[in-house]
Amino acid sequence: MTSPSEPRKSSRESAEAQRRDNLHSLGGAHDATEAVYGFPAPLWRALERHRPPGMGLLQRWRSPLRGPWLTSVFGSVLLVGLPVVILTGLLSYIAYGPQFGQAIPNNVGWLKLPTFDWPSRPSWLYRLTQGLHVGLGLIIIPVVLAKLWSVIPRLFTWPPLRSIAQLVERLSLLMLVGGILFELATGVLNIQYDYIFGFSFYTAHYYGAWVFIAGFVIHVLIKLPKMVAGLRSLSFRTVLRTSRADTRPEPRDIHGLVANDPAPATVSRRGALALVGGGALFVAVFTAGQTLGGFTRRAALLLPRGRSRGKGPNDFQVNRTAVAAAITPADTGANWRLILRSQSRRMLLDRATLEAMPQHTAELPIACVEGWSTTQTWSGVRLRDLAALAGMPNPARATVRSLERFGGFNHAVLQANQVSNPDSLLALRVNGVDLSADHGYPARVIVPALPGVHNTKWVRSIEFGQP
């Protein structure tokens, strides 16, 4: 039998629990207990008493979909996707050859990465890593926005801080949110070659990435247990079977994600997931073609350089035209000579001499940092044959310089494995015809797995050297 005191005790506990729920609100003036304040408690209480105007507007965020489960679902997707974006971005920096001082920024102090010789096999390596970096970075934008939507009321709680631990969490959140929004904004503008921000994209994007990475790591360490608990709070299968009419708010949570006075649902949780997933799919369909190529390129409406560069075998993407590089017919005419240098020899070769040398043909991609790539059939002289002709059959490096007089990428330093690769070429022809002016006539470098800007066009000289 139940004693008479037990129902009364249960009633008192329920009332107290309800009181705590009512007090724990985004715009509430007080907390349920003094225990919510950490050291130094007087400071946090003083912040609470000086509430800024407009905090009542938070009560307008009444969506019944918000809660630990939905936030955790979006967070778990980002927990899988963002590390791939981070890793491929750092690999792109290494592919630019920071050991040769040609990655931007060059001098990064203690943020220097453990560099290594970027592989020249497989030939599609940079196409894969940079395609993932840009493509996945674009695809997760709807998920990032949905995640921010799910927690935005929490970003404006008052008082903003109640303990030192929460201060650390807020700082990590500032780095995380500010960092990812900065990286996405500058990344998208760079893809479209729109540098309205007025500073070096490469420098800002690199340092911004480290701010984001630090915030991401700290935030994951703090939030991972809560994310796991949130995912377990509802059955994914049950959510997918629940209609809008049957959608109910999640139980009140101590983190304030659930609205205090939820409005009726205008869409189900499965509808919200479909909306975000559909947005990600939409972005994928209209951007992936710039990396995949082939028939998918027709669907890539956001291609920064368009779908066509004219007609014929030279009809493929161009990052920098001859006009933009100030290359004139006089520079590339009959008087053009390739300068070969080594420690013991200097030679001048005209195009006829190069065409008389053994020719090699290879199907190789060009992949650029903006995410687009294209695969073409190139013909020309192997770089290792030119190194042997210059009297240095096994060079440690090769410095390739362009006729282009200005610009940060008018030269490139190639590693030993890039020079020795049998498919590394000083290309004279593409798809069976001479290179066009925009594609680097009279000669350009094509190296497997090398970032596009280092496949130097309008080559003026190649110098082979030792360390």
3-state secondary structure 114-147: CCCCCCCCCCCHHHHHHHHHHHHHHHCHHHHHHH
Q: Which two tokens stand for residue 464?
A: 């082979």
375, 317 contact by CB (below 8 A): no
Q: Which residue in 376, 363, 371, 379 sits closest to 434, CA to CA? A: 379
Taking only the tens place, the pLDDT of each residue in 267-291 is: 999 999 999 999 999 999 888 878 7
391: left (phi over 0), alpha (psi -120 to 50) or beta: left
Taking only the tens place, the pLDDT of each residue in 124-170 is: 999 999 999 999 999 999 999 999 999 888 777 776 767 777 778 88
Reduced to 3 states, what is the DSSP secondary structure of residue 287?
helix
Specify the amino acid at residue 390: A
385, 455 contact by CB (below 8 A): no
CA dist 410 and 454 (Å) reads 8
Burial of 284 per CB tally in 10 Å (0-12, 13-18, 19+): middle
Rounded mean pLDDT of the chain? Answer: 86
Q: Does position 307 have pLDDT exceeding 90, yes or no?
A: no
Tell me what pLDDT residue 53 has: 67
Q: Which residue in 198, 193, 234, 212 sits closest to 89, CA to CA? A: 212
State the sign of the Cα–Cα–Cα–Cα dihedral 386, 391, 395, 397.
negative
354, 444 contact by CB (below 8 A): no
Reduced to 3 states, what is the DSSP secondary structure of residue 150?
helix
Q: Does position 389 have pLDDT exceeding 50, yes or no?
A: yes
Return phi, psi of residue 64, to 5°: -75, -5
Which pLDDT band holds residue 61 (cuts at 50, 70, 90)?
confident
202, 104 contact by CB (below 8 A): yes
CA dist 380 and 430 (Å) reads 9
CA dist 314 and 317 (Å) reads 9
- Beta-carbon contacts of 91 under 8 Å, excluding residues fewer than 6 positions away, are 129, 133
Q: Does position 16 have pLDDT exceeding 80, yes or no?
A: no
Taking only the tens place, the pLDDT of each residue in 66-111 is: 999 999 999 999 999 999 999 999 999 999 999 999 999 989 999 9
Residue 166: CB atoms within 10 A of its CB come to 18
CA dist 63 and 185 (Å) reads 27
